């Protein structure tokens, strides 16, 4: 992995243009990494690929780079959303970081009937996503949406986007009722193996699972694909990472790396 520092910036990236650092970026580069005038930095903005830049001015809590040369073209990313019920603070942070590493384009915190945590600081999560994108060599950062109710989101769903509904309760409800076959969701790999390429979203429930109302509503939707994540009970953050990984491996951009 290249050790040249990598920053997500808001400005357009044009050869020769000066680029003003925020105080946080300046602090990170000059105090934490001890970067000096003339040193190399890489920058990306989600629109113009990745560029080599050089530090041209170091100030107390500011600074400038000069943008020099494009080193990677902007790549198309999977159109993959993550919908998840917010968790306690560090676990929500964790989901956002890992979803960024796993190439999600939009992160949507959604409230469900059993969601415990209702307050979501979107600006904070957006920052975590930007930092994770810098680390993971992505050319964009996922957009973190404002929190909304799951049913509200489903009400305005674009039906061309498939909703992969991770139905963790499926197994337990079955086991409890002694019914070994009814409404058993397909395993995720089987359910998604033959899908045509297209926009998708993955939905992970809160720790307490979805209510019967929510499950019935979800299962009645034409664009919804209920899937099982195996025989063990996964914590919500594990389920999110696992489902995103399996999606990318089977339908997403892990495949493209070997097929380009």
* Site residues (vs a copy of itself, CB under 8 A): 1-2, 75, 98, 101-103, 135-138, 169, 171-172, 176, 184-190, 208-209, 228-235, 238, 241-243, 245-246, 248-250, 252-259
Closest approach of a copy of itself to the CB of residue 195, in Å: 14
| 25 vs 248, beta carbon nearer a copy of itself | 248
Contact 95, 110 (CB under 8 A): no
Closest approach of a copy of itself to the CB of residue 2, in Å: 7
Contact 101, 36 (CB under 8 A): no
| 86 vs 142, beta carbon nearer a copy of itself | 142
Closest approach of a copy of itself to the CB of residue 128, in Å: 13
| 21 vs 246, beta carbon nearer a copy of itself | 246
| 19 vs 188, beta carbon nearer a copy of itself | 188
Could you please report the per-residue DSSP string of 75-144? PP---EEEEE---SHHHHHHHHHHHHHTT-SEEEEEE-TT-S-----HHHHHHHHHHHHHHHT-SS-PEE
Closest approach of a copy of itself to the CB of residue 255, in Å: 5
Contact 110, 147 (CB under 8 A): yes
Look at phi and psi of residue 183 and say left if phi exceeds 0, alpha if psi is from -120 to 50, else beta: left
């Amino acid at each position: 992995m290249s050790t040249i520092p990598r920053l997500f910036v808001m400005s357009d990236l044009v050869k020769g243009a000066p680029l003003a650092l925020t105080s946080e970026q300046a602090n990170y580069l000059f105090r934490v990494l001890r970067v000096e005038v003339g040193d190399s930095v890489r920058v990306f903005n989600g629109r113009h690929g990745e560029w080599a830049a050089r530090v041209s001015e170091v100030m107390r809590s500011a600074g400038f780079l000069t943008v020099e040369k494009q080193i990677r073209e902007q790549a198309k990313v999977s159109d993959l959303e993550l919908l998840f019920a917010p968790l306690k603070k560090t676990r929500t942070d964790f989901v956002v970081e890992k979803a960024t590493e796993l190439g999600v384009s939009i992160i949507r915190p959604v409230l469900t009937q059993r969601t415990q945590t209702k307050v979501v600081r979107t600006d904070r999560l957006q920052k975590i996503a930007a930092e994770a994108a810098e680390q993971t060599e992505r050319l964009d950062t996922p957009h973190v949406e404002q929190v909304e109710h799951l049913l509200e989101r489903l009400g305005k769903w674009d039906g061309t986007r498939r909703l992969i509904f991770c139905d963790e309760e499926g197994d337990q409800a079955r086991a409890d009722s002694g019914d070994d076959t009814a409404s058993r969701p397909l395993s995720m790999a089987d359910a998604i193996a033959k899908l045509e390429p297209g926009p998708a979203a993955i939905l992970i429930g809160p720790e307490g699972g979805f209510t019967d109302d929510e499950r019935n509503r979800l299962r009645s939707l034409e664009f919804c694909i209920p899937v099982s994540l195996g025989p063990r009970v996964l914590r919500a953050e594990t389920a999110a990472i696992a489902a995103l990984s399996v999606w990318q491996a089977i339908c997403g951009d892990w495949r493209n790396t070997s097929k380009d």
